[in-house]
Amino acid sequence: MPYSKSVKVSGDTQTYTISPEIKEYTLNDLGFERSRRGTFTYEGSLDRTSPFHSAAKLKIWVSPEMDAFKMETVNGNGMSKINIFRGSRSKEFVLQYHFILDEMVKRHVFDRQ
């Protein structure tokens, strides 16, 4: 998946865009890690019952220039995309998903469309 200025996760009704006010120190505060290539990566558990062995995760990559990003929800091992808006535990996963992204919107990493 290529980097984009706006992303809509499968099953979500909202689109997120990269904020023009994004700052590197904010990404660091929120748990993003910087790779050798300069990409900022975030991997957060959506499983509130077992955060260390989660059934679903939110993965976000922000380009080194902080002008584009990728975002997806994946299974516990991070290998397959999943739709957290369907399934028996969807309510729990969606609640945690929105909690994480609401904080990122509040801190001007993303804007909600």
> Where exactly are the structural domains of the chain?
6-112
Greatest Cα pair distance in the chain: 39
Distance between CA atoms of residues 43 and 46, nearest Å: 10
* pLDDT tens per residue across span 8-33: 999 999 999 999 999 999 999 999 99
Per-10-residue mean pLDDT, the chain, length 113: 92 95 96 96 90 87 97 91 93 95 97 93
* Residues found in the chain: 113
Summary mean pLDDT of the chain: 93
Is the Cβ–Cβ distance between 1 and 72 less than 8 Å?
Answer: yes
Smallest CA-to-CA distance from 83 within 30, 33, 12, 31 is with 12
Rounded to 5 degrees, what are φ and ψ at 3? -65, 145
Rounded to 5 degrees, what are φ and ψ at 51? -65, -20
pLDDT at 90: 92
pLDDT at 48: 82
Report the predicted TM-score, pTM, of the whole model to 2 decimal places: 0.93
Q: Tell how strand 56-62 and strand 69-75 pair up.
A: antiparallel
Top-level class of domain 6-112: alpha beta
Helices and strands, counts by H and E, the chain: 2, 7
